[in-house]
Amino acid sequence: MPSHDVMPNMELYQPVQVEDAIAIADRLAERGWLVGGGQDTYGWLKDRAKSADALIDLSGIEALRGIREISDGIEIGALTTLTEITDNSVIQSQFSLLADAAGRVASPQIRNIGTIGGNVSQDVRCWYYRRGLSCYRAGGNLCYADTPQGMNREHSLFEASRCVAATASDTAPALVALDATMVIQSLNGERTVSAEDYFVGPAIDIENTTDLRPGEILTAVRIPSTWANATFYFEKVADRNVWDFSLVNVAAAFKVNGGIVEDSRIVAGAVQATPRRLTNVENAVRGQAKNAATAESAAAIAVDGARALAHNGFKIPLMQNLVKRAISA
């Protein structure tokens, strides 16, 4: 019986050019596993919950690092660390929502290694899925968490189609709120997809959490100047302030003029498999004063359609309160 204290045997590729990485990823297709910081990858492989014939280590590709100002906003290389994002002066001054979200991920040690590309592309969190059980997402025909006896305290309130696992990324809701664009490259060239469409739920794809396909690499994230210097709010509630994943988080961007909300993007995380954009709340606060009264009425509709599981009902008032605080802050 193989030991779980060591990594399984597999090939290792360490390209230093994007073009080489794309060629390797295309050749290996589903047999290869792309690695950035590796914070999510190595746990999967060490626990034998997932396997790969080869690792494609992208960490040596300098072209995938760094934060650049472009004609309409900024571009962040997919291998840029969360610490670099948190500390960057341009992001702090113009897009502080992302700096705040990145600064709440896990611990300082993990943020020093973890990348923005890895954080948004990590798989969902679920006790059963991560333990290697044959649930729907792993190719089986049962959701172990969606039962009265299931351990589902951290799971989804919305859009639970066969799988009730929730997204684990703190930066993903911020990128959706900022109307970011994900840049994806393959042998067919470059394609872009909005952050909102980059994340996919189980009703669309039960096996994948993003729009990335075999042979493709997420190379950058672009944030337009549309929401630069807006009024931002990010809050994360977790069991512990350091290291833990969100129970619920909220990322919000407001354009306010004379105390009136002209436009907004409000996104909740950890309440479904993808960041949940609260368009009904955005519509409700448009043209309204950004104050406690508006926040109270809007928060009431933030959880429309929520379905609590046996043990995660506390997320409903928690989500309402975070939305209320985002609007009234």
User: Which pLDDT score, from 0 to 100, does residue 8 have?
Assistant: 81
Over the chain, what is the mean pLDDT?
Answer: 95
Instruction: Give tens-digit pLDDT for 275-296.
Output: 999 999 999 999 999 999 999 9
Report how far residue 16's alpha carbon sits from residue 56's, in angstroms, rounded to the nearest whole number.
Answer: 11
User: Which pLDDT score, from 0 to 100, does residue 5 have?
Assistant: 62
Element (H, E) at 34: strand 32-35
The dihedral over CA atoms of 205, 210, 215, 7, expressed in degrees to the nearest 10, equals -100
Answering whether pTM is above 0.85, one says yes
Instruction: Give tens-digit pLDDT for 10-25.
Output: 999 999 999 999 999 9
User: Which pLDDT score, from 0 to 100, does residue 1 have?
Assistant: 45
Q: What percentage of the chain's residues is helix, strand, coil (to nearest 5)?
A: 30, 25, 45
Alpha helix stretches (DSSP H) within the chain? 18-28, 41-46, 82-87, 89-94, 96-102, 108-113, 116-121, 127-130, 171-177, 195-198, 279-285, 292-301, 315-328
User: Which pLDDT score, from 0 to 100, does residue 6 have?
Assistant: 73
Statement: residue 54 has pLDDT above 80? yes
